[in-house]
Chains A and B, each alone.
Chain A
Amino acid sequence: MRKINWIIACCILMSSHLFGQQVQKSTYGDVLLKNATIVTVTNGTIEGDLLIKDGVIAEVGSSLSANDATEIDCSGKFIYPGFIDGGTQLGLIEISSVSLTRDSDELGDYTPHMQALTAVNPNAVAIPVTRVNGVTTVFSKPTGDLFPGTGAVIDLHGYTPDQMYAGSKAVLMNYPSTGKRGRWDRRSEEDIKKDSEKALKKLKDFWAQAEIYAKINQTGGEYNPQLAAMVPVMKGDSPLMIEVNKKTDILNALAWVNKKGIKAVFTGVAEGWRVADSLAKYNIPVITGPVLRVPSRTSDKYDVSYTNPAKMLEAGVKVAIRTDETENVRNLPFNAGFAAAYGMGVEEALKAITIVPAEIFGIADKYGSIEKGKVANLFVCDGDPFETKTQIQHLFIRGWNVPMESRHTLLYDEFLERDPGIKE
């Protein structure tokens, strides 16, 4: 009898692999997290309980009880809101060197109508790998030329893009950059100048068309998908996400945005520290990162990338942090940790990957902190989640109790003590 039990147990354990599942299924239901240190981000840190019901945070308080809720004792543990990465290609690229698995970069200079949400693969292997590090929500964005497309904020759980969609999209623009782009850039100074003038002219022409289109669209006209995608930006309903990194480009982009009178968010902003006061003056929010990158110029101080978020924040800029990664979006808390160590402080760095990106994406009513009524995106861990060695023990996305499994943990389980080992 015992043997049969064993066989049944083994079958259950192996079933996920037999059916080709990537990880175990998540479970849904009311959960009561007891006796935790709850880092709310927006209302300080409290000792108490947290009730998850119907996918949202139903209650935060002390001595909570709930019938039928699964209770998890969190004594000595911490609850944090799920981290939000303000810029990734997660779900759009599976293996970056295999071009047919790369869905982030459509052909053409003006493709704002390309929807990241269409190409997000809910079963991307990197998604479980990312979320078990506490990153529950990301902005997944196309990359490419002048107007690469429309990015979408997604939760890292669900089987269709619609199940993952977190209610915010944004059109992206790459501000025409000047200067040499790296050691491989062999263009002459004259060519560099010409190229940037050409790009600016392209921008000017397309913008003029988009302005007219947004006007005549009221009265009817021929449908143009590129220009139609720009309408919410032209009307100021949606911010334009402008990727811009170099000092002079940032200043030019500031002047441009000011002239156009649109809502804008700057992304990348590697040299934001050089023009932090201007960014603050024009009240432009920033999604910066990666923090873990080499300085942009060989003449730069070695730590300019680490201190960049702190310097912008200090000047009064609203700063969110991103990884701009695909398979290693899981390093978001470490990017924030470096920013914290190099001047930003733990509290502000935590905001930069929770409530601040939620505000920038216009979803702060549902995301970015532990508050009653917000989406139950949160995790339980045994220490400071920026600290490299901290272990995350429970993960909830939209109230789903998500298994702490990914390809990486499954391979660990299988190979730590391989069987058969060295002997046949």
Chain B
Amino acid sequence: MNIMVMKNIYLLFISLFISSVLSAQNDGDVLIKNGTVITITDGVKENTDVLIRNGKIEQIGEGIEVGDIKTIDAEGLFVMPGIIDAHSHIALDVVNEATNPVTAEVFVGDGLDPYDVGIYRALAGGVTISHAMHGSANAIGGQCETIKHRYGEIDPEAIRMDGAPRTIKFALGENPMRVHGERSNIAPATRMGMEQIFRNAFEEGKAYIKAKKDFASGNAELAPLYNTRSEVMADILKGDIIIHCHSYRADEIYMLLKVLEDYGVKRICFQHVNEGFKVAPELAAYGAHASVFSDWWAYKFEVYYSTAYNAAILAENGVVTSINSDSGELIRHLYHEAAKTQRYGSLSDNEALKLITLNPAIQLGIEDRVGSLEKGKDGDIAIFKNHPLSIYAIPQMTIVDGVVRFDINEDNYDMRLDVDPDETIPTFFETESHSHHGEGDRCMQDVYEFLNHKH
């Protein structure tokens, strides 16, 4: 047997070992003792226990005693709901279908990658759920998937959050204008063109619904030809899909609000929304949500006139606001990103922590199941040494549905689930700083490769 084959078998064993360690104890029963429990919805409780059975929170209180259950001593530690990232691109094989300004029919959930070590790194930052999004190359991009960070499972189906509402990515401004207008010479090349793309797409959806109704009621002889894109547009109009719209400037945000108002679409969360603070009263009045960066700005012109006080201004104006990562780096310390609203603004601890727990849950339509520590909710928990908003906070353990998926004391050196047996030169990832590339965010992943090949 040659050395290469030996090595491959060895690596295979390692990966099997890790996955078996991680997926052990899948029963979802755990008792967390004596922690400082940050419930988000019911205050902070000292010396309190949290009992999780079958993946659900069964009881929160002092001195809970049950026999024969995995018990975690959280004395001196902070116990909070698992962090939720309303905007990420981890666990995805592809991010952008950059071939048309409207691609409502595509779905990132068709290409989930449970092996992505980014999931583990997110867990190591206390993040239990993320919104794996389509990119921002198109005005109407693909549908997104809300995933649970059940790292260790190798079936793509196992990381979906079953029952989470459907969501879709929209995008405004420079990215779709650059990809389609500038490079392919088709609309949208301007923010005027953007508006009409949306109106046309909604009109198509409306016509599709009407044609179906007409057929059902006998007013038409034929049903409309089945069309996946129109199906999705129709579902948005019916309120079955939440829009998550990549946006930066106040004018384009205001534009989309008016378009949505005209078509009676209520469920909208603006993403990035760097200039959201300029139209915060309008966003609040519409009931629109905002999911923002804590402090990213100036990497492109449309974020030049922004402020790190954005989240604070939006929250103070009554907009349901979250802080997201859109980055495999930031997702590892969203607790720190949330704390920045206390430097740039004066949010209370609970308001700041809401930005990464309950509020993103509301934006994803899963707030009845996660986002706070309450009886009956999912057993998704992050345990910290030091207060999670402190710079000295260190995540100790992350639990998803009652199963420990990250434990700082059980952290192995190499946590990959799959190891490429042909890899002889390991890839060294240089810093992925947005400012060094100019495309800003992961939202444009795959687009440049695509465009570069084309040129």
Q: Residues of A at under 8 Å CB distance from B?
A: 89, 93-99, 125-126, 133, 143, 177, 179-185, 189, 192, 245-246, 270, 290, 292-303, 324-328, 330-331, 334, 337-338, 340-342, 384, 386-391, 407-409, 411-412, 415-416, 418, 421-422
Please determine whether B298 and A298 come into contact, CB atoms closer than 8 angstroms: no
Tell me which of B205-213, B227-235, B353-361, B421-429 binds A. Answer: B421-429
Smallest beta-carbon distance B282→chain A, Å: 7
CA distance A143 to B295 in the complex (A): 24
Please determine whether A390 and B343 come into contact, CB atoms closer than 8 angstroms: yes
CA distance A301 to B121 in the complex (A): 9
Chain A residues positioned under 8 Å from B440 (CB to CB): 97
1/0 contact string of B419-453 vs chain A (CB within 8 Å):
10000111111111111111110000000010000
Q: How many A-B residue pairs have CB under 8 A?
A: 194
Smallest beta-carbon distance B86→chain A, Å: 20
Please determine whether A391 and B304 come into contact, CB atoms closer than 8 angstroms: no
CA distance A300 to B428 in the complex (A): 10
CA distance A96 to B438 in the complex (A): 5
CA distance A192 to B414 in the complex (A): 25
Selected from B281, B282, B394, the residue in CB contact (under 8 A) with A342 is: B394
Chain B residues positioned under 8 Å from A126 (CB to CB): 298
Please determine whether B343 and A97 come into contact, CB atoms closer than 8 angstroms: no
Q: A189-B425, A302-B411, A390-B343 are in contact. Are A294 and B280 (CB under 8 A)?
A: no
Please determine whether B299 and A297 come into contact, CB atoms closer than 8 angstroms: no
Please determine whether A297 and B428 come into contact, CB atoms closer than 8 angstroms: yes
Please determine whether B428 and A98 come into contact, CB atoms closer than 8 angstroms: no
Selected from B298, B309, B393, B437, the residue in CB contact (under 8 A) with A411 is: B309
What residue of chain A has the Cβ atom nearest to residue B385's Cβ?
A341
Please determine whether B285 and A422 come into contact, CB atoms closer than 8 angstroms: yes
Please determine whether B425 and A125 come into contact, CB atoms closer than 8 angstroms: no
Smallest beta-carbon distance B443→chain A, Å: 13
CA distance A125 to B295 in the complex (A): 15
> Which residues of B80-95 have CB atoms within 8 Å of chain A's CB atoms?
none
What residue of chain A has the Cβ atom nearest to residue B303's Cβ?
A95
What residue of chain A has the Cβ atom nearest to residue B279's Cβ?
A418
Please determine whether B313 and A416 come into contact, CB atoms closer than 8 angstroms: yes
> Which residues of B274-288 have CB atoms within 8 Å of chain A's CB atoms?
277-278, 280-282, 284-285
Selected from B278, B430, B433, B449, the residue in CB contact (under 8 A) with A245 is: B430
Please determine whether B392 and A341 come into contact, CB atoms closer than 8 angstroms: yes
Smallest beta-carbon distance B266→chain A, Å: 18
CA distance A189 to B438 in the complex (A): 28
Smallest beta-carbon distance A36→chain B, Å: 20
What residue of chain A has the Cβ atom nearest to residue B448's Cβ?
A184
Chain A residues positioned under 8 Å from B298 (CB to CB): 94-96, 125-126, 326-327
Q: A89-B435, A95-B301, A294-B329 are in contact. Are A415 and B313 (CB under 8 A)?
A: yes
Please determine whether A292 and B329 come into contact, CB atoms closer than 8 angstroms: yes
Smallest beta-carbon distance B251→chain A, Å: 15
Please determine whether A96 and B339 come into contact, CB atoms closer than 8 angstroms: no
Given contact pairs A290-B433, A334-B391, a sample of 20 additional A-B residue pairs in the complex whose CB atoms are under 8 Å apart = A96-B299, A96-B300, A96-B437, A98-B301, A183-B427, A245-B428, A295-B121, A324-B433, A327-B435, A328-B295, A340-B392, A341-B386, A388-B336, A388-B339, A389-B343, A390-B343, A408-B306, A408-B344, A412-B312, A416-B309
Chain A residues positioned under 8 Å from B313 (CB to CB): 412, 415-416
What residue of chain B has the Cβ atom nearest to residue A413's Cβ?
B309
Ranked nearest first, the 8 interchain pairs of A and B with the lowest CB-CB distance are A337-B391, A389-B342, A388-B339, A97-B438, A412-B309, A327-B298, A422-B281, A97-B300
Please determine whether B425 and A180 come into contact, CB atoms closer than 8 angstroms: yes
Smallest beta-carbon distance A45→chain B, Å: 18
Q: Is B333 close to A, CB under 8 A?
A: yes
Selected from A179, A338, A408, the residue in CB contact (under 8 A) with B309 is: A408
CA distance A360 to B177 in the complex (A): 46
CA distance A182 to B445 in the complex (A): 13
Q: Is B382 close to A, CB under 8 A?
A: no
Smallest beta-carbon distance B379→chain A, Å: 22
CA distance A341 to B391 in the complex (A): 7
Chain B residues positioned under 8 Å from A89 (CB to CB): 435
Please determine whether B391 and A296 come into contact, CB atoms closer than 8 angstroms: no
Please determine whether A388 and B425 come into contact, CB atoms closer than 8 angstroms: no
Interface residues of A, dominant DSSP: loop
> Which residues of B256-285 have CB atoms within 8 Å of chain A's CB atoms?
277-278, 280-282, 284-285
CA distance A270 to B393 in the complex (A): 22
Q: Residues of B at under 8 Å CB distance from A?
A: 117, 120-121, 124, 174, 277-278, 280-282, 284-285, 295-301, 304-309, 312-313, 316, 328-329, 332-333, 336, 339-340, 342-345, 386, 389-394, 411, 413-416, 419, 424-440, 449
Chain B residues positioned under 8 Å from A189 (CB to CB): 424-425
Please determine whether A180 and B438 come into contact, CB atoms closer than 8 angstroms: no
Chain A residues positioned under 8 Å from B435 (CB to CB): 89, 93, 96, 325-328
Chain A residues positioned under 8 Å from B436 (CB to CB): 96, 143
Please determine whether A297 and B426 come into contact, CB atoms closer than 8 angstroms: yes
Smallest beta-carbon distance B382→chain A, Å: 14
Please determine whether A179 and B432 come into contact, CB atoms closer than 8 angstroms: no
CA distance A151 to B296 in the complex (A): 25
What residue of chain A has the Cβ atom nearest to residue B406's Cβ?
A302
What residue of chain A has the Cβ atom nearest to residue B445's Cβ?
A183
Q: A96-B435, A302-B121, A324-B431 are in contact. Are A411 and B342 (CB under 8 A)?
A: no
Chain B residues positioned under 8 Å from A384 (CB to CB): 391
Chain B residues positioned under 8 Å from A327 (CB to CB): 297-299, 435
Smallest beta-carbon distance B246→chain A, Å: 15
Can you offer 23 A-B residue contacts whose CB atoms are under 8 A? Answer: A96-B298, A96-B436, A97-B438, A180-B425, A180-B426, A181-B428, A292-B329, A293-B431, A294-B429, A294-B432, A299-B413, A299-B416, A300-B413, A327-B297, A327-B435, A340-B392, A341-B392, A387-B391, A388-B389, A389-B339, A389-B343, A418-B281, A422-B285
CA distance A181 to B306 in the complex (A): 32
Selected from B120, B174, B309, B391, the residue in CB contact (under 8 A) with A388 is: B391
Chain A residues positioned under 8 Å from B281 (CB to CB): 418, 421-422
Chain A residues positioned under 8 Å from B278 (CB to CB): 415, 418
CA distance A416 to B312 in the complex (A): 8
CA distance A294 to B117 in the complex (A): 11
Please determine whether A179 and B427 come into contact, CB atoms closer than 8 angstroms: yes
Selected from B174, B427, B434, the residue in CB contact (under 8 A) with A182 is: B427
Smallest beta-carbon distance B350→chain A, Å: 14
What residue of chain A has the Cβ atom nearest to residue B352's Cβ?
A389
Q: A328-B295, A409-B309 are in contact. Are A422 and B391 (CB under 8 A)?
A: no
What residue of chain A has the Cβ atom nearest to residue B281's Cβ?
A422
Chain B residues positioned under 8 Å from A192 (CB to CB): 425
Please determine whether A338 and B391 come into contact, CB atoms closer than 8 angstroms: yes
Please determine whether B390 and A387 come into contact, CB atoms closer than 8 angstroms: yes
Chain A residues positioned under 8 Å from B299 (CB to CB): 95-97, 327
CA distance A327 to B308 in the complex (A): 11
Chain B residues positioned under 8 Å from A133 (CB to CB): 343
Smallest beta-carbon distance A25→chain B, Å: 21
What residue of chain B has the Cβ atom nearest to residue A330's Cβ?
B295
CA distance A143 to B282 in the complex (A): 42
Please determine whether B389 and A292 come into contact, CB atoms closer than 8 angstroms: no
CA distance A262 to B425 in the complex (A): 31
CA distance A303 to B333 in the complex (A): 11
Chain A residues positioned under 8 Å from B280 (CB to CB): 415, 418
Smallest beta-carbon distance A330→chain B, Å: 8
Please determine whether A180 and B305 come into contact, CB atoms closer than 8 angstroms: no
Please determine whether B428 and A388 come into contact, CB atoms closer than 8 angstroms: no
What residue of chain A has the Cβ atom nearest to residue B432's Cβ?
A294
Chain B residues positioned under 8 Å from A183 (CB to CB): 427, 429
What residue of chain A has the Cβ atom nearest to residue B386's Cβ?
A341
